[in-house]
Amino acid sequence: MSYILHLLILLSIYSVLSLSLNLLVGYTGLFSFAHAAFYGIGAYITTLLMIKAGWGFFPALFIAILGAILLSLIVAIPSLRLKGDYFVLATLGFQTIIFYILYNWVGLTNGPYGIPGIPRPKFLGFGVDSTFAYSVFSILLSGICLLLLWRICESPFGRTLRAIRDDEIAASALGKNIYRFKVLAFVLSGAFASVPGALFASYMRYIDPTSFTLMETVFILSAVLIGGAGNIKGPIIGTVFVILLPEFLRFLHIPDTIAPNVRQILYGLFILILMRLRPQGLGGEYKLQ
């Protein structure tokens, strides 16, 4: 039972990550390789405030979201003036900078040694200590985020993002400020990515920089591409796929030394097949160009 609850917690965490990235990739047509950086920012700010300042989970999470918003603005304002591959490289640079800050600022983040003993949240006066309680807590908090993301995507703001994705010139001719909408989409994506970071940190009770590398961004992007971009159900389907696939590999008795490599090969293979046969993914709407 604990194993199933563990998978439910991971699914709730990565569903928010994939849907928040989908706000950029699927709705705005922007490929960002900095998503794991905002994921890590949420984890580290929440952890440091809870451990070093003695804050509760929700006040620390609120500051983490504000921190992600501030940093996303710092990245978005200059980088979104770039186009295509140059924007991708800018986000890749930010991802690398954040990783090395987390890795080398030992006095604050404990560097490669990580931060152990992260306290669990308390909700309505009760400690979320058991796996069952944390699964309920993570599903509720992630469900709120998913509902907000759905409302954003189905709002006039979301429809404007889709218009920008499909034809920037036409959207601009209708009086839409393309740059401002892209900045807002980037900020919202980073803000939502910080929430599962806080959930991950308080669930694992230990974090280190290796959980928030470029490979983690690629993993989240794989969920979006495999499931499909441009709607709500696609990234959720992709999240279920990439989370449960390694669990199915356990039944194939693949040695632990090569299982991670086999998983990455399968992800790449599925993406190649989908790009050829179904560019919009398993359940998406937007055909990636």
pLDDT at 144: 94
pLDDT at 193: 95
pLDDT at 102: 93
pLDDT tops 90 at residue 21: yes
pLDDT at 256: 66
Domain ranges of the chain: 2-212
Q: Give the CA radius of gyration of the chain.
A: 19
Q: How confident is the model at residue 133 (pLDDT cuts 50, 70, 90)?
A: confident
What global pTM score does this model have? Answer: 0.91
Residue of 208 and 289 predicted with greater confidence? 208
CA distances from 184 to 28, 54, 274 (A): 11, 32, 30
Q: What is the pLDDT of residues 27-43, one digit of tens each?
A: 888 888 999 999 999 99
Q: In degrees rounded to 5, what are phi and psi of residue 28?
A: -110, -15
- The string of DSSP codes covering 31-93 is --S-HHHHHHHHHHHHHHHHHHS---HHHHHHHHHHHHHHHHHHHHHHHTTS-THHHHHHHHH
Length of the chain: 289
Q: What is the pLDDT of residues 47-75, one digit of tens each?
A: 999 998 889 899 999 999 999 999 999 99
pLDDT at 289: 58
CA distances from 236 to 6, 69, 111, 245 (A): 17, 24, 33, 14
pLDDT at 245: 78
3-class SS at 137?
A: helix
Q: What is the pLDDT of residues 90-103, one digit of tens each?
A: 999 999 999 999 99
Residue of 122 and 16 predicted with greater confidence? 16
